Amino acid sequence: MGTGSSSKYFSLSIFFYGASLIPFIEHNDANRALMSSNMQRQAVPLSRSEKCIVGTGLERQVALDSGVPAIADHEGKIISADTDKIKIIFSGNGDTLSIPLVMYQRSNKNTCMHQTPRVPR
């Protein structure tokens, strides 16, 4: 058996998103983990989203890969934010960008998607 310096260590396990979001999946029975990931597929969005109590560290990456969050490409200053859009002026060239927000749009699972602006003051 090799020592810690001679063996390879992968800090990120390779699972699909459904299984990657189950905390402590390595300690679960395989059938329970499969059942849990299938239950996550059937979940509906929360009316008031909250930060999870126990997380895996991949929640941010899953949210970014979903394409739902409206994130600016470059650094800038927020001019205005309302329920329809967020206006940003970029630091480098002074261009302005208006990011439209989704209001009560139907999703593929017949649920309702609604983006609310969360910008620092």
CA 108, 40, 26, 68 torsion: positive or negative?
positive
Q: What is the pLDDT of residues 57-109, one digit of tens each?
A: 888 888 888 777 777 778 889 899 998 999 999 888 888 989 898 888 888 87
User: Which element (helix H / strand E) includes 85?
Assistant: strand 85-90
pTM for this structure? 0.55
pLDDT of residue 12: 60
Query: Which of 25-29, 38-42, 110-114 has the largest mean confidence?
Result: 110-114
Is the confidence at residue 2, as pLDDT, over 70? no
Do the Cβ atoms of 14 and 4 come closer than 8 Å?
no
As given in the structure block, the two tokens for residue 88 are 């940003």
- Residues 70 and 102: their CA atoms lie apart, in Å, by 10
Is the confidence at residue 7, as pLDDT, over 70? no
The full set of domain ranges for the chain reads 14-69, 72-121
Architecture of domain 72-121: Beta Barrel (2.40)
